[in-house]
Amino acid sequence: MKFHYPNGKKYVQTNHSPKKSNAKQISYSNRGMTLEEDINETNQYYLAHQKAVIHKKPTPVQIVDVHYPTRSAAVIKEAYFKQPSTTDYNGVYKSRYIDFEAKETKNKTSFPLQNFHEHQIRHMESVHMQDGITFVLLRFSLSEEVYLLPFGPLKHYWDRMESGGRKSIKKQEIEQEGFRIPLGLHPRVDYLKIVHQIYF
């Protein structure tokens, strides 16, 4: 999980980055892959095999100052990370709209809801009301378990927090209401298989 927001945390560009920092290799799973990398690989697989067209949205940036050196590319000299107003991933599968967010935690027994922002929940709610397919992919990094949790139960636990309840979802609750995604080699996180079972 990466925070691309102005929250004081370091930003690490992962797309197409051949180098991996040691910190990441230690802190994430044995395979040294983040959930984002796994999903990107999976989406490329889907695209190449004409199973779906799903992309990660670019990180939203507020551009303040751009320089135009003669005969070379424009250089952005001052910009700031903006809070995204939607989820990170969307696209199409068998004519239906797919929309999801992917997050990971190092916790073992629960998933903190602070991983999501209120406007993301509101966005997913709007998508849900348009009959779009919307869910979250949750990864427990230490055990490498990935779950698909549909918007319905996510909203339930979000509302529980809003009305003063716990600020996380118990892992047990995710096991009961979510769907475990077996990890593969190619694609690595075949979430469409689960999507097909649940929504089609």
Contact positions toward a copy of itself, by CB under 8 A?
6, 8, 10-11, 13, 47, 50, 52-53, 55, 57-63, 66, 68, 71, 73-82, 84-86, 90-99, 123, 126-127, 129-132
Give me Rg for the CA atoms of the chain. Answer: 18
Which residue is associated with the tokens 């983040």? 34
Q: How far is the CB of 195 from a copy of itself (least distance, A)?
A: 13
Q: How far is the CB of 41 from a copy of itself (least distance, A)?
A: 15
Residue closer to a copy of itself, measured from CB, 135 or 140: 135
For 130, other C-beta atoms within 10 Å of its C-beta total 9
Residue closer to a copy of itself, measured from CB, 95 or 163: 95
Residue 160 host element (H or E):
helix 151-162
Residue closer to a copy of itself, measured from CB, 98 or 148: 98
Residue closer to a copy of itself, measured from CB, 80 or 175: 80
* Tokens at 63, concatenated: 């551009």
Which residue is associated with the tokens 């230690």? 26
Which residue is associated with the tokens 């889907």? 46
Residue closer to a copy of itself, measured from CB, 172 or 197: 197
Q: How far is the CB of 140 from a copy of itself (least distance, A)?
A: 28
Q: How far is the CB of 57 from a copy of itself (least distance, A)?
A: 5
Distance CA 113, CA 110 (A): 9
Distance CA 132, CA 151 (A): 11
